[in-house]
């Protein structure tokens, strides 16, 4: 029997029959040859009677598998997956370990939005897993609603600096190779697991109480007027709007080459050298990626169709920051972007944009416009109370558009269903509320 996709937007990824509780990844990597030897130990829990476990793993050779320390009945490696036939079936609720030893030359995972995951740089590696790239470097249950904790160990040449998801626990160096260890106790979706290797240095930003650091190319100094130096002030503003920062720290990683767009991961975001330059476009991207730590990472949409919950809030945070900085107000930003969207055709409703369109600019801007309309409808006190409540209730887990609509109804005496229906379910662009 063919199992249905865990998320209709991610055909061939994820399995609803079990969940991973913890990933322990031990990665040994040679930069010059792009050679990876890995051992992943997954602690899994059966959710239904389980005779086999399907893991997402792309184009890497499996050498050995152990289940509960013993050999399984059979393993069936495929190009994008590994199916492990269990020697003894697991009843619902049973917990065991699956250890996979594997090796090869990691490659990005192809898909609708282009290759994602493991990417070789000129001198190093960048892993941007969203939305389907995690299987490029470790076996996993690749679905957003299966959040797990992580221990990640990476060994590579001593001249390289490693940044991975989680709190750095220290390094050891032997025979010209350094072993880096990271621990992430906060529940994390697979696509939010990241790794960067390069000739980099890390510096903590003044005014952040050690919570914010910038990792930059060793050959470059952090410019005095770059938007990254505003991160402590950004963090303070976002905590005022949305509540306490949900993780132990935030690292802005700048790799040593330009990137078209930055990408967020749990507790970190990756940028290119072009994003160091002064200007609003880079400043808004920095605060956008920071906002994702609340919207997308702490609280993650259980299905990709609800991506506006991530991108709408991150985009609206750009407008809030603009107003906070004394630049354009949220009303001005909203009017500007509604005018732009008026001349564009919208291919699907915001509540279900389709896999091909989920990262289209209209999804970001229409989501932000809806939030601005909601704020003007229920008032600042209720809107920011709702945002903080949303994070507090769902942090560490996943949620849906229906969950947000239900919670919003608690913050208004008026019926909000027409507002949400117009912005989420119809293609026609609604009008903005009058200012003043």
For residues 49 and 5, the model is more confident at 49
pLDDT of residue 165: 98
9, 304 in Cβ contact below 8 A?
yes
- Is residue 200 within 8 Å of residue 163, measured between CB atoms? yes
Contact criterion met (CB below 8 Å) for 97 and 41: yes
**What is the pLDDT, as a whole number, of residue 436?**
62
Domains of the chain: 1-194 (2.60.40.1730), 199-293 (1.10.390.10), 300-425 (1.10.390.10)
Q: What is the predicted pLDDT for the residue at 5? A: 76
Q: Report pLDDT for 4.
A: 66
| pLDDT tens per residue across span 13-58 | 999 999 999 999 999 999 999 999 999 999 999 999 999 999 999 9
Secondary structure of 171-196 as H, E, C letters = EEEECCEEEEEEEEEEEECHHHCCEE
DSSP assignments along 72-125, one per residue:
-SEEEE-SSEEEEEEEEEEPTT-EEEEEEEEEE---PBP-TTS-BEEEEETTEE
Give the pLDDT confidence score for residue 1 in this predicted structure.
42
Q: What is the pLDDT of residues 137-174, one digit of tens each?
A: 999 999 999 999 999 999 999 999 999 999 999 999 99
Q: What's the average model confidence in pLDDT over 208-231?
A: 96
Paired tokens of 188? 């994390």
Least confident of 134-138, 369-373, 429-433: 429-433
Please tell me whether residue 259 adopts helix, strand or coil conformation: coil
Q: What is the pTM of this model?
A: 0.96
For the cut 70, the answer to whether the pLDDT of residue 209 exceeds it is yes
Give the span between the Cα atoms of 223 and 286, in whole angstroms: 15
Average pLDDT, the chain: 96
Q: Could you give the residue ranges of the DSSP H alpha helices within 167-274?
A: 231-242
As to burial, measured by CB atoms within 10 angstroms (0-12 exposed, 13-18 middle, 19+ buried), residue 42 is buried
In the predicted structure, residue 435 carries a pLDDT above the cut 70:
yes
The answer to whether 18 and 141 are in contact (CB under 8 A) is: yes
């Amino acid at each position: 029997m063919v199992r249905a996709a865990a998320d209709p937007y991610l055909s061939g990824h994820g399995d609803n029959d079990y969940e991973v509780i913890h990933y322990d990844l031990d990665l040994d990597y040679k930069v010059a040859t792009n050679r990876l030897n890995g051992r992943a130990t997954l602690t899994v829990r059966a959710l239904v009677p389980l005779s086999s476990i399907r893991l997402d793993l792309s184009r890497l050779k499996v050498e050995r598998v152990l289940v509960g320390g013993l050999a399984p009945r059979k393993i069936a490696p495929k190009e994008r997956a590994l199916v492990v036939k269990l020697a003894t079936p697991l009843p619902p609720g049973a917990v065991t370990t699956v250890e996979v030893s594997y090796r090869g030359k990691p490659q990005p995972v192809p898909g609708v939005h282009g290759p994602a995951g493991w990417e070789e740089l000129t001198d190093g590696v960048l892993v941007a897993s969203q939305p389907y790239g995690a299987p490029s470097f470790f076996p996993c249950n690749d679905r957003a609603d299966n959040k797990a904790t992580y221990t990640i160990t990476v060994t590579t040449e001593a001249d390289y600096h490693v940044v991975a998801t989680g709190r750095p626990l220290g390094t050891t160096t032997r025979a010209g190779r350094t072993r880096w260890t990271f621990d992430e106790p906060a529940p994390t979706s697979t696509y939010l697991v990241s790794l960067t290797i390069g000739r980099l240095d890390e510096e903590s930003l003044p005014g952040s109480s050690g919570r914010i650091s910038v990792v930059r190319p060793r050959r470059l100094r952090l410019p005095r007027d770059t938007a990254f130096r505003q991160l402590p002030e950004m963090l303070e503003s976002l905590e005022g709007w949305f509540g306490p920062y949900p993780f132990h720290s935030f690292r802005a990683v700048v790799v040593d080459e330009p990137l078209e767009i930055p990408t967020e991961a749990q507790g970190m975001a990756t940028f290119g050298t072009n994003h160091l330059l002064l200007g609003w476009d880079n400043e808004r991207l920095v605060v956008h990626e920071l906002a994702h730590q609340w919207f997308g990472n702490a609280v993650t949409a259980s299905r990709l169709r609800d991506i506006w919950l991530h991108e709408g809030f991150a985009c609206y945070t750009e407008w809030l920051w603009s107003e906070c900085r004394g630049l354009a107000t949220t009303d001005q930003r909203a009017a500007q972007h509604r005018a732009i969207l008026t001349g564009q055709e919208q291919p699907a409703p915001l509540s279900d944009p389709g896999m091909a369109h989920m990262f289209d600019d209209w999804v970001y801007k229409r989501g932000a416009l809806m939030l601005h309309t909601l704020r003007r409808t229920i008032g600042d006190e209720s809107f920011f109370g709702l945002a903080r409540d949303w994070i507090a209730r769902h942090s560490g887990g996943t949620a849906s558009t229906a969950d947000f609509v239900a919670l919003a109804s608690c913050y208004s005496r008026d019926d909000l269903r027409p507002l949400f229906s117009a912005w989420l379910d119809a293609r026609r662009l609604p009008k903005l509320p009058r200012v003043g």
